[in-house]
Amino acid sequence: MTGATLLATTGPEITAIEASLLVFVVITAIVTALARDVLAAVIVFGAYSLGMAALYTFYRAPDVAMTEAAISAGVTTILLLLTLAKTSRIDHEIAFESVNLPAAGAVGFLFVGLLLTMADIPAVGSPDAPVWSNADVTQWYIAETYAETGVENTVMAVLAAFRGFDTFGEAVVVFGAGVAALIVLHREVFA
C-alpha cells in the first residue's frame, strides 16, 4: 500500500477531535523540550500526558489511557513538582531555549525516516492488521479468555493469569523502586 492510498483510506476517518488532539500533543511535546523554566516544562508535560491519555481512549486502549492519566499526568507531575519545590526558581529573561541545530537536524532525519515507514503500517482499526488478525495470539486470547479465566477484560487476564510471572516481576520492580528511594535519600521510614 503506498502512502497516497493510505492517506486516501484513513483521511476521512480522522475526526476533528483526533486531529486537534494530535496537534495538541505535538505542540505540548515541543514546548516541554524547549521551555527554559522547569516549572513550566513540568506543567506542560502533564498536559501532554493528558492529551496522550485522551488519544489512547480514542484509539480503543482504555487500559493504557487510564495508566497514562493516573501515572504520567497525575503521579509523575506531582512527584516532579514536589522535587522542584525543594529547589530555588530562576527567573529567565527568555521563555524558550534556542534550538540546537545539529540536534534538530538529527531529529529531523529520524522523523523523515519514520515517516517513510508509515506507508507499510496498517490503518487504525483495520481488520487486516497483523496484531489483530493472527489466529494464534490475539484471536486466541479474545476467544478463550472468558472460558479459561472467567473475566471479561482480556488485558487483565493476560496481566494476571497468562503472563502472571511477568507481572510479578513488574510488581517487584515497583517495590524495589520504593526501597531504592529510601536508600538513595538515606532514610529508614517512608512517613
Partner 1 sequence: MSDDSPGPAESETQSRTNRLDSQTRQGTPYTESQVIMPTVKVVAPFAFTYGLFVTFHGGGSPGGGFQGGAIMAAVVFMIAFAFGIEATREWLANTVIVALAVGGTLVFAGIGLVTIARGGAFLQYELLPVPLAEIDRVTYGMEAVEILGIAAIVSGVLMGLFFVLASGFAQENDDSDAGDTVATDGGER
Q: Which residues bind partner 1 (CB under 8 A)?
A: 38, 62-63, 65-67, 70-71, 74-75, 78-79, 82-83, 85-91, 148-153, 155-157, 159-161, 164-165, 167-168, 171-172, 174-175, 177-178, 181-182, 185-187, 189-191
Dist. CA 46–CA 62, nearest whole Å: 18
Question: Judged by CB, which is closer to partner 1: 136, or 152?
Answer: 152
Three cell numbers at 18?
A: 483526533
Output phi, psi for 96, to 5 deg.
-120, 150
Residue 155 Cβ, how far from partner 1 at the closest point, in Å? 7
Residue 137 Cβ, how far from partner 1 at the closest point, in Å? 20
Question: Judged by CB, which is closer to partner 1: 109, or 168?
Answer: 168
DSSP string over 14-46: S-HHHHHHHHHHHHHHHHHHHBSSHHHHHHHHH
Question: Judged by CB, which is closer to partner 1: 109, or 146?
Answer: 146
If you search the block for the grid coordinates 499526568, which residue do you land on? 73
